[in-house]
Amino acid sequence: MLTAAADRVPLFAKLPEGIDFQAPGWSRVTWGGMGVFGCMVPLHGRPPDLRADAHSDVEFRPRFLIEPSRREAGVPWSWLFRDYLGFEPTVVGGANAFSPGGSACVRLAGTASPIAPTEGPSVICLRGPEADTLHSLHIVRCHPATAPFAAGEVVPFRGGCHPLHVKGLLPLVTDEHGQVVCGALDSPARSVVLGFDPVEALWHDSRLDAGPLEAALNGNWIMPILGAIVWASDVIAWKGLWPEGIPPLLYSVDVEAATSYFDVGAGRCVWAVNRHHARRPQDTKLSDAIDMCMTRLGHARLLGTFHVDLNAVYDEEDRDALKRADRQHDVAFHMPRLGGHEAWTGVMGDSTQVEAACRGGLRELEGIVDHQARGFRNPSWRRAAATHDGVAAAGLGYDSSSFAQPPFAAVPHRARRASGPLGISLRRSHRNRQGGALASQGPPVPEEEPFRP
């Protein structure tokens, strides 16, 4: 959750050095180590004008060149443009792909394709043949195409990784054998070349969804990819990731201890009653635990998200505690009333059963807190490839069941359907304070068409 009201989104633009421009309402800011222009735009508002003198028309949206062997990669890359840059890419053919000036052309190529300097700005991304190989990639130097990583950091990558042999390439990233797998060219135009494709690899991992450690491992590479596109471009505009430009400080609590630690009949905690740090026998009853968490969050002036296991909701005291939490914090969903976490394994492999269980649990939770919960976390982080399809079909907006991996540069990303090529649609949610409670409104966003080059 944000620690401030969020009613504006940041917008950024990069212009060539040395040109005349008029930018009232814009400021010079630093993004990914580069000097760019930035402004804050009200939600549903119009950004201030940014005018520059150019000798010819320029394209501010990145272009897209997909070789036949990489057609499937067009789907995850198109979602990358939509979700992080804010628009559809311009699909181009080979003849006019690398025109001088304007935004970079992203070329998705196979490892057999010749790689040579281009006449226009570009990001060239190869895909190696080993789909599930785990690599330790080493950052050689600080560069916009490696930000926010520092030189010397080791970043994991799972997927095919191909060493590069390009004349004049400035090494940016090497593999565990010391071979260059990412580098930059300054002439004849700025280019970044990658011997691996983290965008398609993340898409693959989110579809397989093998577990909390595996599903988001490649999420570390989203920001470097965006930095590569911006650095190579002469002209480009894109949106920021966070409302108000403030990365949220997250404090997340799984409200579940009472399902196994608190004995309702005895009226006390049976797990920690004889331990020195359990000063009160009711410390793990839901009502007591939530109130204690809210007190501590209040001292730090933080907002939190409480993921509720409905099996821990026993009585009116518990329901009243959830209502109090909803007035000050975010109440999300964690577990339907199926029993312990082990019971979740019986339904998680069937998206229809997952949807039904989540819908039933959401109805109960929403009857307590009077608003539609948007967040979800799989019980014990357990899931199968079809689980997130059922979670999305139930109307939940996000899933926080995956672990970021060192060096922890992962950002939220869209999961891929287990049953097809599409990404899971996000739902439009207007979340406003009404009497202190978070209110969610708005219909689902219509299903978007798959990318067709």
Mean pLDDT over the full length of the chain: 82
Domains of the chain: 63-233 (3.40.50.880), 250-441 (3.20.20)
Q: How far apart are CA 325 and CA 409, in angstroms?
A: 30
CA 287 to chain CA centroid, nearest Å: 32
Contacts of 70 by beta carbon, 8 Å cutoff, 6+ apart: 108, 109, 110, 127
Q: pLDDT tens, 67-117?
A: 888 888 888 998 899 889 988 887 887 656 666 677 888 999 887 777 776
Highest mean pLDDT among 114-123, 132-141, 265-274, 443-452: 132-141
Q: What is the dihedral of CA 419, 422, 424, 427, to 10 degrees?
A: -140
Residue 1 pLDDT level (bands cut at 50, 70, 90): very low
pLDDT for 276:
55
Res. 316: pLDDT tops 80? yes
Which letter, b or e, does each residue of 177-186 get, where b requires 16 or more Cβ atoms within 10 Å of its Cβ? eeebbbbbbe
Residue 321 pLDDT level (bands cut at 50, 70, 90): very high
pTM of the model: 0.85
- Is the CA virtual torsion 351, 212, 146, 201 positive or negative? negative
Contacts of 287 by beta carbon, 8 Å cutoff, 6+ apart: 317, 318, 320, 321
pLDDT for 420:
67
The answer to whether 100 and 94 are in contact (CB under 8 A) is no
Res. 404: pLDDT tops 90? no
DSSP 427: B
pLDDT cut 90: percent of the chain above it: 39
Q: How far apart are CA 370 and CA 374, in angstroms?
A: 13
For residues 347-361, give the mean pLDDT: 94
Res. 21: pLDDT tops 70? yes
Residue 444 pLDDT level (bands cut at 50, 70, 90): very low
The answer to whether 230 and 36 are in contact (CB under 8 A) is yes
Residue 318 pLDDT level (bands cut at 50, 70, 90): very high
Q: pLDDT tens, 120-178?
A: 888 999 986 666 789 999 999 999 999 999 999 999 999 999 999 988 999 999 999 99
